[in-house]
Structure 1
Amino acid sequence: MDATGLSILNPRALRLPGPNLLHQLVKPPSQQTALDYMGNNRRHSYTYRQFHDAADALARRITHASGSQDGQLVVPVLIHQSPLLYISLLAILKAGGAFCPLNIDAPPERVKFILGDVAATVVLVSRELASGIPHDVSATIITVDGDEDITEPSHVDLQHRIPRPEDLAYVMYTSGSTGTPKGVGISHDAATQALLAHDRHIPSFSRFLQFAAPTFDVSVFEIFFPIFRGVTLVTVRRVEMLNDLPAVLRRMDVDACELTPTVAGSLLRKRENAPNLKVLLTIGEMLNAPVVEEFGGDDSKPSMLWAMYGPTEATIHCTLQTAFSCDSGTGNIGVPLDTVSCFIIEIPETDSEDFKLKVLPQGEVGELAVGGYQLATGYINRPEQTRSVFIDSPYGRIYRTGDKARLLPNGKLECFGRLSDGQVKLRGQRLELGEVEQAVLRTSGCHSAVAAVVNSILVVFCAVDAGVSEDAILKKCGDWLPQYMVPGEVVLMSEFPRLPSGKVDRKRLKAEHEARKADMAEDSQDSESADAIETTIIDVMSDVLNFKVKKSMSLASAGLDSLKAIKLASALRESGVAVDSAGLLTMKTVSDIISAARREAGAQVTNSLPKEAAISFEIGSVLRGNPELEKLSALVEDVLPCTPLQAAMLAETAQNSTAYCNEIALEVPNDYTIEEISESFVELTRRNAILRAGFITFEGKFITVLFKDLRPEQIKSSDRFDKDFSLSSSLDYLNPLRIQIQQGSSVGSSRLLLHLHHSIYDGWSMDILLSDWSKLLSKGNVPQHLSFHEVVEFLQQPTNR
């Protein structure tokens, strides 16, 4: 601490030795695994050699497309979390550019603004998200997973731009108070100094999960810190992480990750849910007591909790508290990194241009300011906003964070949240209420708007002309704002209450709104009598959301985000109401949930079988009704009903022949012949009847046909994989499993490509099946599992449906 008694930590920040370009921090090519990805039950991995080769190939395409333009090359990126994203970011850096991630749900106007703001000449997209780029932009669009395979290095000799340490490495767009997003430019020098400074503080790990959305600057740390250390970066499709994060951590053998406290408390919850996890970093919002108590350390358990703090403008993290103890205060943000200086300064009464920096005595509460080598270059094309928060001082250039804090006697910093109501954090995302208000004011007939967070719901109060609807305002917000910034509730008024000064009385607005909601909650009786399903849903939702829910209430106004939807779906299932979190998020009101639950209950009553009903069909009658199957009659073992989940998947595939058609790529040491590999799969299918299943329609619905053995046309050896897989014909439905084997060279590995329809496996059974197959291949012992016939029989009982 400062000897003068002032609130100063590390006044002379250190410049650390090491590379000063971000891509130079990435470990060089090797056969070690760099990336491990699971999506749609397909697992892909890249060695550091493959990672670099793919990035080099794509970098050449970027340089070729961008030509010889002057100035900084900033390349927007619209790609889901996947190896494709990580290859693209590294490729942009290698091409001498800076990457700029885009929200995958960003409306066209926002995308066009960002592309114009960075003067984009090249944009990288995936085929899946290509429609998110407006057609009328002038930039060259590179579809990174298009016809040219980015894993195949090209030998075209192109001269990439040569970046300098002060050039931009990336640009992150955050919410802007003027109604448009603002881009924060981070230099190579700031990014490398930040990552180097973490190295002595973060314990060793081998597999780090990349959880944050690419537009959240924490993703830069999640991606580049593991590959700086030369370990494995792990990711899984986002929907799977949200649906069952502990299972993802276990399945992918993750030992380190970074989460917001909300995610840690809601999805991870307990240490035992991820027994291999050794390091949990938290960021994005204030810690809470349950997370500290569960993941902090005490005499009975070591700490796995590292609390990180830092605004985007100071390059991801700038302070940290290592090995958080169970009795630590939730506001403890620790000490600055070696490359960062921290100051508690006097909070100015107004934001005037003649701001005078005054460092407060130790213990006094003020605004946290940071300096050192991690500061952003500023806001893109916003010199006035840059000057207002990046200040020249006797201690060098500093950034005013807008967070309230104090320096404790023990030399640690304690943070108390935002100074201003104008910038808030909602579910871990920072947003400017002013930007929401500006979007609302684009609605014709809306002449004033006030945005506020009320009970964790983003509410916008609108003074409007007669005839303006909530839908019109929400549509305009959807046109301009990413989904997380669209208000959950719109309150229409003819005029606002005002203070004597003429300003809007914001406190009164919020108080009256809360009073109205309280009145609604008390009026819990609907005009129609509630049945058991409605009563159950209302009670469970009220318990999960912590206030009395009304049938007519919109789910947005109830604050139902993806995390709460997961909790709610779980609680409803425990109460006997069958819903899933993804389904909940497609619904608009509480009434929609009730109606869906009633339909499901009605379908169960209609379709339930009498207890004495046989679960097998009469094979002869089924064969006679299906000519394709009749030819294979000698090979058929049994005919069974589909499970409800199988029937639903197959019904979707009937509409879209590629739906639920997945592939899994495997490698086998060349110690095994093609015959041995084939026989191991044949034996696996003998032990698991579901893998011998095919499907036909009978009496208007799908049923399961179990064959006695895997048929020859389902397993083939070839020099080249056929990657086309769909269920387009009745014969295709009889072959939902197809295996291709490609013999390796004398020093290589054999490669396998499994095509499977999702109706014959799920993620967890596939883990078991692949484990069994590995044991069969090596002549090991394989345990006996529940048969498919037993599963179907269980599910057909009325009490289990």
Structure 2
Amino acid sequence: MSSLQQDCVADRDALGMGCVWSSGLFVGLADRVSSVASAFPSRVAIDDGGVEVSYGALESRSDALAHRLRLLGVGPDRVVGVVLRRRPEMVAVLLAIWKAGGAYAPLDPEAPAERLAGMVADCGAVLVVSERELASRLPADVDLLLIDGGEDVFAAPVQAARPAPGPVHADQLAYVIFTSGTTGRPKGVGVTHGALSMHIEAIGALYGMGEADRVLHVIAWSFDGATECWAAALAHGGRLVLGDPKAWTAEDALAEIRRSGTTIVGMSPALLETLAEAHSRSGSGPLPVRSWTAGGEAFGIEAFARVRQAFWPARIINGYGPTETVITPLLLAVTSSTPASAWEGASWLPIGRPVGARTAHVLDESLGEVGIGVEGELHIGGLGLARGYVGLPGLTAERFVPDPFGPPGGRLYRTGDRVRRRADGSLDYLGRLDQQLKIRGFRIEAGEVEAHLLAHPRCREAAVVAASREGQAHLVAYVAGEAKPEELSAHLAGRLPEPMRPSLIVQLPSLPRLASGKLDRRALPAPTWTARAYAAPETKTEQRLAALMGELLGHARVGRHDGFFQLGGHSLLAAKLVAQIRKEWGSPIGLAELYSVATLAELGALIDRHDESGTTADIDALLAQWEES
């Protein structure tokens, strides 16, 4: 063992992290997975609804694809866009990109084509890996590699190979994740291998992860939490269980958890509460899950209490963290021995303490530490920070500032979140300092939505806020100008994903202003949640859907242009609607698909398309190739 490796082991033992240092070589996550595959090739790595993929098959296929990617120019700090649906091949693709020395940018295949094109351009992707059904949504001038294009990309190419890229460096780019941006365009956050590996190692230690664990993956691939889910499971020798949130009801998810023997589950608090409600309703026995994690949005105390009661005595973890601080830099673990009175009087569950080699400071406007119980802005430091925003050095310098509390060269990330430290050292989340919003787990910059509204030639003013209805947050836009709300809704549909589109657009003669000329957000009128101008449902599917939605939402009449969330629907009611759709039509509609449509008419058309769709034999055949080769 070299002196550098000895130093690494000492650091790992001291900090509870993997072999990571700021500028040297280390054992990366792809190598960790390869080590498991070498020792246990026949062990199941991926379980996709009962279709199993071994570590050996995953290793050979990712090796072959990495070889091909190097021939196509992928190497250190070269970004590869990934636009794929949820399937086992996704994991092989991501591992292959790392093995080729590159970084991946997972992009939402359901995002508007214009938004996809912008993200591909902004991350400087040298290549995009996709599939036939999605290729038409990508820019015509981008280099594409299709995993189902007729040639087996998971078989080693016959061309002479380029030299292997060599060991990975801790400061080499691992992935780029896009988040909402104030300019009207999403911004890419670049994360290095060192920061990611430190986090995955620390998470594994905190969770006590090992080969017996089976980790359910239901997080969208375009979120950084998806990387933690698959990388932590495989790097620690466990099994990744692929879920299908687009097709599942809460009952389906619980059934899959039982079938697969899932031990670790992570999802948004709203979806976790949906599962808890379904489990309590079923009256069935204990689940195999030993650890539930909620993340992506604040976890209300009352919702937490219901989840804890339903899943007792399993551990419940509340995860917090912006993408810029690598997934979940702070965690709070609640076990069966934690007293229910621990957070009496709080509105939200605390967000806990730093994970791994990180620091958390509560600072005032002068970057001075404040005392226990005093509100301040959360600044996160240590090794678990992103490199910065891709192609945006000015914004990077603004948000990542010098760390006055750490060693020279250290940085702090200004989160923009208001917190206060509790006497036990954990942190309470109190809300945002700026106009960033959280809707159904999506991090949304109000300025980005406002910029797209103002891009309409007949919209003169725009302000976007979050408004609560029956305990659930909704986006509400206030506009002034000649453009009607329905025009603006159609305008946004082709530019923003559904969670970023306002549930309600309120037209005003002008927006209220302070004497300084600044927008007076407190003077904006309270939203009135009413249906749009009534248009009778046309098809039998629409008519039946209108009856179901009206019953759930308490509306006597629901028109074909009304939207479920615009009428006040929230995640718990959405789960009930999806369950009724499955029962009524037998159609594999899931929560994600309900979120993707704007109106009753669109949902009806989606159900009818499912009824008329063909088989998925081509996908099933592709899955079958995994173990044959």
TM, length-normalised to structure 2:
0.81
Give the Cα separation in 2 of the matches to 1:591 and 1:663.
31
Contact 1:297 1:304 in 2 (8 A): no
Q: Which of 564, 576, 579 is the equivalent residue of 1:555?
A: 564
Q: Which of 469, 478, 488 is the equivalent residue of 1:473?
A: 488
Aligned partner letter, 1:158 = R
Q: Does 1:459 align with 2:476?
A: yes
Classify the secondary structure of the residue corresponding to 1:416.
strand
Classify the secondary structure of the residue corresponding to 1:66.
coil
Deviation at 1:166, TM superposition (A): 0.6
Contact 2:246 2:589 in 1 (8 A): no
Q: Which of 301, 317, 338 is the equivalent residue of 2:328?
A: 317
In structure 2, the partner of 1:395 is 405
Larger C-alpha radius of gyration, 1 or 2? 1
| Number of equivalenced pairs | 573
Contact 2:81 2:106 in 1 (8 A): yes
Give the Cα separation in 2 of the matches to 1:587 and 1:365.
40
Deviation at 1:175, TM superposition (A): 0.2
Give the Cα separation in 2 of the matches to 1:586 and 1:423.
22
Q: Which of 181, 204, 223 is the equivalent residue of 1:216?
A: 223
In structure 2, the partner of 1:16 is 17
Aligned partner letter, 1:338 = G
Contact 1:339 1:374 in 2 (8 A): yes
Contact 1:319 1:337 in 2 (8 A): yes
Aligned partner letter, 2:332 = Q
Q: Which of 144, 147, 151 is the equivalent residue of 2:147?
A: 144
Question: Mapping of 1:272-671 within 5 angstroms?
Answer: 272=284, 275-296=287-308, 301-324=312-335, 325=338, 327=340, 328-329=342-343, 330-346=348-364, 348=365, 356-396=366-406, 397-420=411-434, 422-455=435-468, 456-465=473-482, 468-511=483-526, 513-514=527-528, 517=529, 541=549, 544-545=552-553, 551-552=558-559, 553-560=562-569, 564-570=573-579, 652=612, 656=614, 658=615
Distance 1:169 1:577, change over 3 A: closer
Give the Cα separation in 2 of the matches to 1:527 and 1:111.
33
Contact 1:297 1:323 in 2 (8 A): no
Classify the secondary structure of the residue corresponding to 1:374.
coil
Question: Mapping of 1:123-202 within 5 angstroms?
Answer: 123-135=128-140, 137=141, 139-154=142-157, 156-162=160-166, 163-202=168-207
Q: Which of 52, 60, 65 is the equivalent residue of 1:53?
A: 60
Give the Cα separation in 2 of the matches to 1:577 and 1:152.
41
Deviation at 1:652, TM superposition (A): 3.2
Classify the secondary structure of the residue corresponding to 2:351.
strand
Contact 1:260 1:282 in 2 (8 A): yes
Deviation at 1:548, TM superposition (A): 5.5
Give the Cα separation in 2 of the matches to 1:442 and 1:47.
50
Give the Cα separation in 2 of the matches to 1:294 and 1:214.
28
Q: Which of 263, 275, 282 is the equivalent residue of 1:255?
A: 263
In structure 2, the partner of 1:614 is none
Deviation at 1:361, TM superposition (A): 1.3
Contact 1:566 1:580 in 2 (8 A): no
What 5-or-longer segments of structure 2 have no aligned partner?
1-13, 20-25
Distance 1:211 1:589, change over 3 A: closer
Deviation at 1:562, TM superposition (A): 6.9
Distance 1:239 1:33, change over 3 A: farther
Give the Cα separation in 1 of the matches to 2:616 and 2:82.
27
In structure 1, the partner of 2:241 is 234
Contact 2:68 2:157 in 1 (8 A): no
Deviation at 1:471, TM superposition (A): 3.8
Aligned partner letter, 1:160 = A
Deviation at 1:589, TM superposition (A): 5.2
Aligned partner letter, 1:249 = I
In structure 1, the partner of 2:10 is none
Aligned partner letter, 1:202 = Y
- The one of the two structures with greater contact order (alpha-carbon pairs below 8 A, sep at least 6) is 2
Contact 1:33 1:45 in 2 (8 A): no
Deviation at 1:203, TM superposition (A): 3.1
**Aligned-pair Cα RMSD in Å:** 3.8
Contact 2:276 2:306 in 1 (8 A): no
Give the Cα separation in 2 of the matches to 1:60 and 1:476.
43
Deviation at 1:275, TM superposition (A): 1.4
Contact 1:366 1:406 in 2 (8 A): yes
Percent sequence identity over aligned pairs: 28
Contact 1:340 1:374 in 2 (8 A): yes
TM, length-normalised to structure 1:
0.65
Deviation at 1:140, TM superposition (A): 1.7
Distance 1:580 1:62, change over 3 A: closer
Give the Cα separation in 2 of the matches to 1:159 and 1:252.
40
Classify the secondary structure of the residue corresponding to 1:417.
strand
